[in-house]
Structure 1
Amino acid sequence: MARMRYGARTDAEIAATRAAGGRLPDIWSTGVVALWETDPDAVAAVLPPPLTPTGRPLVRATISAVNLPGYPLGAGSVAVAAAHDGIEGWYPLVMPMTHERALTGGREVFGEPKKLGEVTVVRDGLTVRAALARHGIAFVEVRGAVSGPLPLPEPEVRYDFYFKFLPAVDGSGFDGDPLLVHCRRTEKVRRLERITGDVVLRESMYDPVADLPVRTLVGITLGEKTSDQSGEVVGRVRAEDLLPYVHQRYDDPGQVHDAPPEGSA
C-alpha cells in the first residue's frame, strides 16, 4: 500500500521535525511600532483578571513585514500595558496575520488572539505607511516620515500575557479551566529610526481598538528586529472571571456560545 500521508508518523520523523524546529535561524522583520497613552479606564476595562493595569495607560501597535524564507508574512498586534504577579508586560487584544500558517502555533500553543487579516508596511523614500485591516477596514493606520536614526538598544526581554482555552462542546463555558500564559521574548534590533507622524484609529465592529483613543502620542519608530520566544503556564483562571471577555477572541460575539447543531449526537 502506498504511504498514507494522514497516517501515523514514525518516532524518527517526529524527532526530525522537532530538531528542525530547534535550529531556526534569526528571522528578521521590518516594522512600525506606535506607542500612545489612552484613557486609564479604557485599559482597565479590557483586562481580564488576574491581569491589572500598570502605572501608565499605554497602547502599543506593532505592524511588521516578516522575512520568512520563501514565505513572507505580515504580522501585527494591538496590545495594552498590563501586569501580573509583579511582572509588567502587554496584553494583546488582536493579532492580525496574513497567513493561516502563522495562526496555528500561536493560537493552539500559546493562546494568542491571532486572526487572519491584511498587514501593510510600505516605505517610499522617507515616507512610511503601515496599517492593520480586516473585513475591508483599516482599523489602525500609522502615517509619517522618517526623521532620523535612533541609537540601537541592548537586547530587551518583553512579556506578553495570553489566555489559552477551548470553548465547551455543549456551548456552555469552557472544556476545563483556562490557562494564563506568560510569553517571554528576547528582542534584538539592528536598525531603528524615528518616525514623525500620527496614528489613525477607525471604527470597526470586529476590531474596536478605536475604543482606546490616542490621548498622547508617545512615539513611532521603524525598525529591523528579531526575537525568540518561550511560553510558560503560570496558573489556571476561574472560568467565570474570563467568560465576560471571551468575545475579544471572536468576530461574532455569540460564536463562543454556539450550541451543537440540532439533531447532532
Structure 2
Amino acid sequence: MNAPASRADRVQALLAKRGDLRRTAVLLLGGEGPVWPRARIAVFDAPVDAAAARAWLPPGLRSSDPARATIFVADYPETTFGVAYREAGVLLHAVHRRRPVLHCAWMVVDNDTALILGRELLGFPKKLAEIDFLMDAGSATARVRRGGVSLIAFHMEGAGPRSDREPFTRPIVNARGIPSLLPAVLYRMDVPQRVHEGRRGTMTVEIGGSAADPLDRFGVGKREIPGDAMVADLAVPPAARRSVPPVRPVGLVRPTWLAKHYPERAW
C-alpha cells in the first residue's frame, strides 16, 4: 500500500497544474488541520523604550503602558501551504479601539514563499535573514543575522516548570500597503493556538541593530529575562480552516506613515 502523500507533495502536484484557475484558491484555502502544526517556538516579553515604540506604531494604534514587546523565534517544520521555514519577529504591545493587540514592527524569515505570502496577504514586514534555532526539552538557543549583523540572540538552559502560555497572547494588527498616494490598510488577524507542551525558564538575550534593522532602538540590549519554549499548533480549526488565517480590515493609515517606515520594512 502506498503511503499517503505529504502536504508538501500535494502542494507540488497543485503547482504543476498550470493554467488551472482553481490552483490559487486550493493552495490558499484548501488546507486541512492547523496551518502551522507542531511549531517549535521560543518567546519572551521585554520592556522597550516607550518613544521608540510610539514611533514605530502606525496611526490608530497606541502603545501599551508600560511599553512592551513580544520577541520570538520559531521553526515551522510543516505548513498547509507546503513549505518549511524559520521565522523571527518583534511584536509591539498596543491598544486598538480600547482592546489589547500586537503589531508586527519587524519580522524575518528564511524562505521566500513565506516572505511573499506574509507580506502580500497579511501585512507582515518580512525580510530574509539567517536564522539558527535549536530547541529540545531542556534548552533553546537562537541567533538571527542580517548583513553579517547579529540582531537577536538568546539561550535558555534547563527550562523549569511547565507553562501553558500561548505564543501570541493578543490579536495581531498589521499595516498592509506600498508607498503611494493611497493609504495603507490596517488588518486584524486572529490566530487560534493550541499548546502541546511548554516550559518556562530564564533566557539570556541580546538584541542588536543596524541601519536597516534598528532593533537596538528598543533598548532591550543584553539581559536575563523570563521566557518560554513550546510546541504549538497555530491557526487551529475550526476557527481557521485555511492557509491564510482570517483577517479583516479595521482602519486606514495615512500614506506618509508608510513612506516614512518603508525603508525598515524593505531594506
TM bin (shorter chain): 0.7 to 0.9
SS at 1:240's partner residue?
helix
Answer yes or no: is the 8 Å Cα contact 2:42–2:74 preserved in 1. Answer: yes
Cα distance in 2 for residues equivalent to 1:16 and 1:214: 42
Q: Give the aligned residue type for 2:87.
A: A
TM-score under structure 1 length normalisation: 0.79
CA 1:94–1:20: 2 relative to 1, 3 Å: same
Q: Which structure has the greater CA radius of gyration?
A: 1
Q: 1:142 aligns with which of 147, 151, 154?
A: 154
Q: How many residues of Structure 1 are paired with residues of Structure 2 in the alignment?
A: 241
Q: Which stretch shifts more, 8-17 or 242-251? A: 8-17
SS at 1:149's partner residue?
coil
SS at 2:55's partner residue?
helix
SS at 1:158's partner residue?
coil
Q: 5+ residue gaps in structure 1?
A: 168-173, 252-265
Q: What is the match of residue 234 of structure 1?
A: 250
Q: 5+ residue gaps in structure 2?
A: 1-14, 236-244
Are positions 1:79 and 2:91 aligned together? yes
C-alpha displacement at 1:146, in angstroms?
Answer: 2.5
Cα distance in 1 for residues equivalent to 2:70 and 2:17: 43
Cα distance in 2 for residues equivalent to 1:31 and 1:212: 22
Answer yes or no: is the 8 Å Cα contact 1:31–1:121 preserved in 2. Answer: no
Deviation per residue, 1:204-249 (Å, 9 max, x gap): 2221111112288652111111111321111222223443222331
Q: What is the match of residue 256 of structure 1?
A: none
SS at 1:21's partner residue?
coil
User: What does residue range 120-139 of structure 1 map to in structure 2 within 5 Å?
Assistant: 120-123=132-135, 126-139=138-151
Answer yes or no: is the 8 Å Cα contact 1:166–1:175 preserved in 2. Answer: no
Q: 1:52 aligns with which of 56, 62, 67?
A: 62
CA 1:8–1:144: 2 relative to 1, 3 Å: closer
Q: Give the aligned residue type for 2:259.
A: L
C-alpha displacement at 1:124, in angstroms?
Answer: 6.5
Cα distance in 2 for residues equivalent to 1:154 and 1:6: 37
TM-score under structure 2 length normalisation: 0.79
Answer yes or no: is the 8 Å Cα contact 1:59–1:81 preserved in 2. Answer: yes
Cα distance in 2 for residues equivalent to 1:155 and 1:130: 16
Cα distance in 2 for residues equivalent to 1:113 and 1:213: 21
Cα distance in 2 for residues equivalent to 1:97 and 1:22: 23
Q: What is the match of residue 239 of structure 2?
A: none
CA 1:7–1:139: 2 relative to 1, 3 Å: same
User: What's the C-alpha RMSD, in Å, of the aligned pairs?
Assistant: 2.8
Cα distance in 1 for residues equivalent to 2:68 and 2:202: 19
Are positions 1:210 and 2:226 aligned together? no
Are positions 1:36 and 2:46 aligned together? yes
Deviation per residue, 1:84-136 (Å, 9 max, x gap): 11221111122111110101111111111011112221146734311222112
Answer yes or no: is the 8 Å Cα contact 1:132–1:139 preserved in 2. Answer: yes
Are positions 1:119 and 2:128 aligned together? no
Deviation per residue, 1:24-79 (Å, 9 max, x gap): 66522112102111222221122121211112211211101111167431111112
Deviation per residue, 1:162-183 (Å, 9 max, x gap): 111123xxxxxx1532111111
Q: What is the match of residue 257 of structure 1?
A: none
Q: Which stretch shifts more, 11-20 or 108-117? A: 11-20
Q: What is the match of residue 185 of structure 1?
A: 191
CA 1:11–1:24: 2 relative to 1, 3 Å: farther
Report sequence identity in percent.
21
